[in-house]
Amino acid sequence: MHFLDQAKIFVRSGAGGPGAVSFRREKFIEYGGPDGGNGGKGGDIVFEAVAGLNTLIDFRYTQHFRAPRGSGGAGSNRTGAGGEDLIIKVPIGTQVLADDEERTLLLDMTREGQRVVFLRGGDGGRGNASYKTSTNRAPRQHGTGWPSDEANVWLRLKLLADAGLVGLPNAGKSTFINQVTNAQAKVGAYAFTTTRPQLGVVRHKDREFVVADIPGLIEGAADGAGIGDRFLGHIERCRVLLHLVDANDPDVAESYRIVRGELENYGAGLIDKPVVVALNKIDMLDDELIAALSAELEEASGGPVIPISGASGVGVDWALDQLLEAIGTDHGKVAEDDEGEDAIEWSPI
């Protein structure tokens, strides 16, 4: 399945149905009077966050969404049928943005089952029965129904993960996520083997958390070098970052500083997130060299460094322990305020 993290779509709610103009006609009833019913309400545009989706690829092929309009009213005071709501299912973590220069954030779908009425359908028009008064006993006017709302919006996916992997290309991020999850990320002896974000579920010490692997960063990624920094948005929601540094790099301290500099240039608070620093690929080094490189990296990062080997599994449990500690013990709990919440109505006005 192809990965797509942004798409532009057009949405339009349903217009209200027209009211009816009708008069009662029955045998032996001399004065029937008006009995035209109201029109039905148009369908709403509803966004719903569902599990099992991690890409917006479906919106590349279907870009126009129109809810049905309400049916017209009828005689005998019959109200027209309302149009069915059009439910647009999106991955958890999808943001709905306005189609303007600032890309204003309109919705943020962060919870499974969250439903938001984005555009409300128009109300149905009044039938002539509702216009009857003591002085106007045979009204012929009726309502045509309220018009629909429409909008062009951007969908942007920011994957929800508890921990994010960062590092230079070929730092061993894909090997690490394959070691601790069933992600089956592509691994190769060349840079940029990862061209799209990967998600994996880690099960460690009777707990579970989600890890996100993004393509490697190089110096100048914020300015578009390499794959650029467009995928950094997928770790904005992470509680902790695991920074992997290749022990075979000529200067491990400089490798660390390059990635930290790109995180700072990107912004969005990534530089302030808790970080676990790991010296990767130590399986081919002796203890003396590992200690020297770890000390050099500790001086650059200002914190402890965990020597690991994603390929052999050495030190991986130690790194996972540190990630769990940073994620916290409240992971997976549902806030009381969120319980029982169903549909939320959003108004563009």
Do the annotations mark residue 283 as ligand-binding?
A: yes
| pLDDT recorded at residue 228 | 52
The model's pTM is 0.72
**175 and 151 in one domain?**
no
Do the annotations mark residue 221 as ligand-binding?
A: no
Angle at 17 (CA atoms; ends 133, 128), nearest 5 degrees: 15
Tokens for 16, please give them. 């209200």
Do the annotations mark residue 241 as ligand-binding?
A: no
Do the annotations mark residue 77 as ligand-binding?
A: no
Do the annotations mark residue 168 as ligand-binding?
A: yes
Do the annotations mark residue 280 as ligand-binding?
A: yes
pLDDT tens, residue by residue, 266-325: 777 888 888 889 898 888 888 888 899 889 888 888 888 889 888 888 888 888 888 888
Do the annotations mark residue 167 as ligand-binding?
A: yes
| pLDDT recorded at residue 193 | 52
pLDDT tens, residue by residue, 91-122: 888 999 999 888 899 999 988 899 999 999 99
Do the annotations mark residue 173 as ligand-binding?
A: yes
| pLDDT recorded at residue 220 | 59
Do the annotations mark residue 309 as ligand-binding?
A: yes
**196, 213 in Cβ contact below 8 A?**
no
Do the annotations mark residue 274 as ligand-binding?
A: no
Do the annotations mark residue 326 as ligand-binding?
A: no
> What's the CATH number where 143 sits?
2.70.210.12
Q: How many domains does the chain have?
A: 2
Do the annotations mark residue 310 as ligand-binding?
A: yes
**183 and 128 in one domain?**
no
Backbone phi, psi, residue 327, to 5°: -65, -40
What is the C-alpha separation between 103 and 94, in angstroms, rounded? 14
Contacts of 293 (CB under 8 A, 6+ apart): 247, 252, 279, 285
Do the annotations mark residue 33 as ligand-binding?
A: no
**33 and 54 in one domain?**
yes
Q: Which of 131, 137, 188, 181 is nearest to 161 (CA)?
A: 181
**119, 316 in Cβ contact below 8 A?**
no
pLDDT tens, residue by residue, 205-235: 888 888 888 776 666 555 555 455 567 777 7
Q: Which of 91, 118, 129, 84 is nearest to 10 (CA)?
A: 118
**91 and 236 in one domain?**
no
The band of 333, judged by pLDDT with boundaries at 50, 70 and 90, is very low
Do the annotations mark residue 213 as ligand-binding?
A: yes
pLDDT tens, residue by residue, 7-18: 999 999 999 999
Mean pLDDT over each residue of the chain, to the nearest integer: 83
HEC secondary structure over 263-323 = HHHHCCCHHHCCEEEEEECCCCCCHHHHHHHHHHHHHHHCCCEEECCCCCCCCHHHHHHHH
**135 and 211 in one domain?**
no
| pLDDT recorded at residue 263 | 83
Do the annotations mark residue 216 as ligand-binding?
A: yes
**35 and 85 in one domain?**
yes
> What's the CATH number where 195 sits?
3.40.50.300
**140 and 75 in one domain?**
yes
pLDDT tens, residue by residue, 25-65: 888 877 788 999 999 999 999 999 998 787 888 898 899 99
Starting at the earlier edge strand, list the strands of the sheet with 343-345. 86-91, 45-50, 115-119, 343-345
Do the annotations mark residue 97 as ligand-binding?
A: no
Do the annotations mark residue 272 as ligand-binding?
A: no
CA distances from 203 to 81, 96, 207 (A): 50, 32, 6
For residue 191, give its domain range: 163-327
**232 and 194 in one domain?**
yes
**343 and 310 in one domain?**
no
**194 and 146 in one domain?**
no
Residue type, 50: V
Do the annotations mark residue 87 as ligand-binding?
A: no
pLDDT tens, residue by residue, 125-183: 999 999 999 899 889 999 999 999 999 999 988 877 788 888 888 888 888 888 888 76
